[in-house]
Amino acid sequence: MKLLITGGAGFVGSSLAIALKMNYPDYEIFAMDNLKRRGSELNLSRLKKQGVEFIHGDIRSKEDFDALPGVDAVIEASAEPSVLAGLDGTPDYLINTNLFGTVNCLNYALKHKAAFLFLSTSRVYPIKTLEGLNFVEEETRFALADEQPVPGASSKGIAEDFPLDGPRSLYGTTKLASELLIQEYNEFYGLKTVINRCGVITGPWQMGKVDQGVMVLWIAKHYFDQQLGYFGYGGTGKQIRDMLHVADLYRLIDWQLHNLDQVNGQILNAGGGLESSASLQELTKICQEVTGKTIPIKAVAETRTADIRLYVTDNTKVTALTGWKPEIGIRQIVEEIAAWLAENEEDLKPILM
């Protein structure tokens, strides 16, 4: 099999490329990336060591695709992933990458009759609807109530039939627009596709920032003895997310690649689920236990733009279709990331501090 992974030097793309090459040494895997994100250059030697061919290219450029060899499948893992991207009034890079870039990827896949696996995001779900959900305040976290005002929401989390009306961030909108186009290519061009709406993805080799990659950021700030803050919702740190280890995501992508007919045309939520969820307060406690460090955390009551109180993935549909469910919990994720920081401290310090 020949595969193209876009965003192939990014955290998710490189992790998938390396895992696929390790498990299928005979596969030809091309990792395409524009190396815009700081830290992605550290993955080039890792890709080369495993025998993944790196191609310096930009999905915004149709010409860069013209120079690529044909493949059997495309894993579209490229994105401007920040939920705050474009909110400063200049959304051009965001839209050109996340929407028009996807069009170039789709046309390339169509040209070579390649399957198309798309990594979308839970951020396609509208902010105000999520914020209007019924919740209970527990000692260390907010939790979703059983009874909800809209379909697709329960104490288990958010399912695929959650309403899509309303603003969701420019980032989420570009991903949803891409989803709509993918469905058209599937229906009218016969392109085999699957869309995965991922929750928070994390693990070693993620270059965490405040607006994307919060898990690594939280652990790194503890590791390097720096300050953090509980922003919004009263400054209590009770807002929650579920965390999906990139190795768990790989297992799903691997299954889909080799059983695409069973998920062709599907939209699937994929996240850590309730079992692998944590509030910032709970995450802080685990970070303290794993790193042995306690750092100052300020409380800021004011809620930031585009933030949400809670998001947990309901994996019921993807588990029923594929048998997949995440296996790696929060503590193991923290331990792995802390070990990675220790092993690569000199390289990571200027990026993550």
Q: Is residue 133 part of a domain?
A: no
Give residue 82's pLDDT.
Answer: 87
Q: Is residue 118 part of a domain?
A: yes
Q: Which residue has the tokens 């005979």?
A: 26
pLDDT tens by residue, 297-332: 999 999 999 999 999 999 999 999 999 999 999 999
Q: Return the amino acid letter for 188.
A: F
pTM (two decimals): 0.97
- Containing H/E element for 200? strand 200-202
The Cα 182–Cα 321 span in angstroms is 20
pLDDT tens by residue, 198-247: 999 999 999 988 778 899 999 999 999 999 999 999 999 999 999 999 99
Q: Is residue 258 part of a domain?
A: no
User: b/e for 79-114, b at 16 or more Cβ within 10 A?
Assistant: bbbbbbbbbeeebeebbbbbbebbbbbbebbeebeb
The CATH number of the domain where 8 resides is what? 3.40.50.720
Q: Are 263 and 194 in contact (CB under 8 A)?
A: yes
Tokens of 228: 């953090």
- Residues with Cβ within 8 Å of 72's Cβ and at least 6 positions away in sequence, in order, are 1, 2, 3, 112, 114, 115
Tokens of 223: 């590791």
Q: Is residue 267 part of a domain?
A: no
DSSP secondary structure, 243-254, as one string: EEEHHHHHHHHH
Q: Is residue 23 part of a domain?
A: yes
What's the total number of domains in the chain? 1
Give residue 27's pLDDT.
Answer: 98
Q: Is residue 250 part of a domain?
A: no
Tokens of 198: 């991922």
Q: Is residue 76 part of a domain?
A: yes
Give residue 64's pLDDT.
Answer: 98
Give residue 81's pLDDT.
Answer: 87
Q: Is residue 340 part of a domain?
A: no
User: 82: domain range?
Assistant: 1-125+168-198
The Cα 206–Cα 11 span in angstroms is 5
Give residue 2's pLDDT.
Answer: 98
- Residues with Cβ within 8 Å of 213's Cβ and at least 6 positions away in sequence, in order, are 11, 202, 206, 207
Give residue 89's pLDDT.
Answer: 84
What is the mean pLDDT for each group of 10 consecutive residues in the chain (353 residues)?
A: 97 98 98 94 97 98 96 97 88 97 98 98 98 98 98 98 97 97 98 98 92 91 96 97 98 98 98 98 98 97 94 98 98 98 95 88
